[in-house]
């Protein structure tokens, strides 16, 4: 396959970027999208050009490192996969592919297509954990959890924190990510002691990072590679309003992980 790529090139966060057009020639339809970029980069290096900088790590859809906004879709046009799982057979010969980085104030561009997603880390560090006292190992089945609850919590826990929800949202809102991280713990008994302080701490950090506000368009849910559901957002809202308006627990009572 021969393709035309329009790739966003930007030296760093401080300078303006622009699109540069490249030819991707003799691409196998069985290549992943990232392998296709590898081939293009090889040719750029041979020509003495700077290769295109993009994020990737495990290349099997579980780490959440790869990103790319491809032809108007985060992780490309297919549902429930990451960019590394996207194959070139999805495109047709001669097609023009526009590749952009995630666009959000909270995700500044590091270089070219790679963005800094450490705002997600800071939200997690604000409360996305359970404080466990060390000691003897507790039997795995010591705390009974109904199967439906365990399944639902696990569905939320499958979030890989790639940021596709932010990239897809017209408001660059991080609500799907934050709500998945809040509700995976809020549903389980182990998450109860910190439930009301956690939601306050994580929402406060989300706001501080400068993400937009949720308007329930559902674009996040549609683009999520792990099919995280919007019901998480409502669950988080419910917990947040309950914590703020009815519970006598404050955000500063949350142990900060020491």
Angle in degrees, CA 251, 255, 256, rounded to 5: 95
Does residue 214 touch another protein according to CB under 8 A?
A: yes
Site for another protein (CB under 8 A): which residue of 36, 54, 82, 100?
100
Strands 96-100 and 3-9: parallel
- Distance of alpha carbon 9 from alpha carbon 51, whole angstroms: 10
Q: 169-191: b or e for each residue (b if 16 or more CB lie within 10 Å)? A: beebbbbbbbbbbbbbbbbbeeb
Phi–psi pair at 173, nearest 5 degrees: -95, 145
Least CB distance to another protein at residue 133 (A): 30
**Distance (Å) of CA 257 to CA 124, 193, 195, 198, 240:** 11, 14, 15, 12, 21
Does residue 147 touch another protein according to CB under 8 A?
A: no
- Distance of alpha carbon 198 from alpha carbon 127, whole angstroms: 5
In terms of CB distance, is 88 or 175 closer to another protein? 175
Which residues, 9 to 68, sit near another protein by CB under 8 A? 19
Site for another protein (CB under 8 A): which residue of 198, 206, 225, 226?
206
Least CB distance to another protein at residue 178 (A): 10
- Distance of alpha carbon 66 from alpha carbon 25, whole angstroms: 23
In terms of CB distance, is 191 or 212 closer to another protein? 212
In terms of CB distance, is 16 or 26 closer to another protein? 16
Least CB distance to another protein at residue 182 (A): 11
Does residue 112 touch another protein according to CB under 8 A?
A: no
Contact 257, 205 (CB under 8 A): no
Does residue 4 touch another protein according to CB under 8 A?
A: no
- Give the footprint of another protein on this chain (CB under 8 A): 6, 8, 19, 69, 71-74, 77, 98, 100, 103-106, 168, 170-173, 203-204, 206-207, 210-219, 222-223, 230-231, 233-241, 244-245, 250
């Amino acid at each position: 396959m021969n393709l035309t790529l329009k790739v966003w090139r930007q030296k760093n966060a401080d300078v303006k970027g622009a699109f540069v057009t490249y030819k991707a020639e003799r691409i196998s339809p069985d290549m992943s999208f990232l392998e296709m970029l590898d081939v293009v980069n090889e040719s750029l290096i041979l020509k003495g050009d700077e290769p295109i900088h993009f994020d990737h790590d495990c290349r099997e859809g579980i780490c959440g490192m790869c990103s790319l906004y491809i032809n108007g879709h985060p992780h490309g046009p297919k549902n429930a996969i990451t960019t590394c799982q996207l194959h070139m057979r999805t495109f047709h010969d001669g097609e023009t592919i526009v590749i952009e980085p995630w666009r959000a104030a909270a995700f500044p561009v590091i270089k070219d297509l790679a963005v800094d997603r450490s705002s997600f880390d800071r939200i997690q560090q604000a409360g996305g954990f359970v404080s466990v006292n060390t000691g003897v190992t507790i039997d795995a089945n010591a705390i009974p959890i109904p199967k439906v609850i365990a399944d639902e919590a696990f569905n939320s826990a499958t979030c890989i924190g790639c940021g596709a929800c932010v990239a897809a949202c017209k408001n660059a809102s991080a609500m799907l990510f934050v709500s998945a991280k809040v509700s995976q713990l809020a549903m389980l008994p182990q998450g109860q002691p910190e439930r009301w302080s956690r939601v306050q701490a994580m929402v406060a950090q989300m706001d501080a990072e400068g993400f937009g506000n949720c308007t329930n368009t559902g674009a996040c849910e549609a683009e999520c590679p792990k099919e995280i559901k919007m019901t998480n957002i409502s669950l988080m809202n419910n917990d947040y309003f309950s914590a703020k308006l009815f519970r006598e627990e404050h955000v500063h009572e949350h142990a900060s992980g020491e």
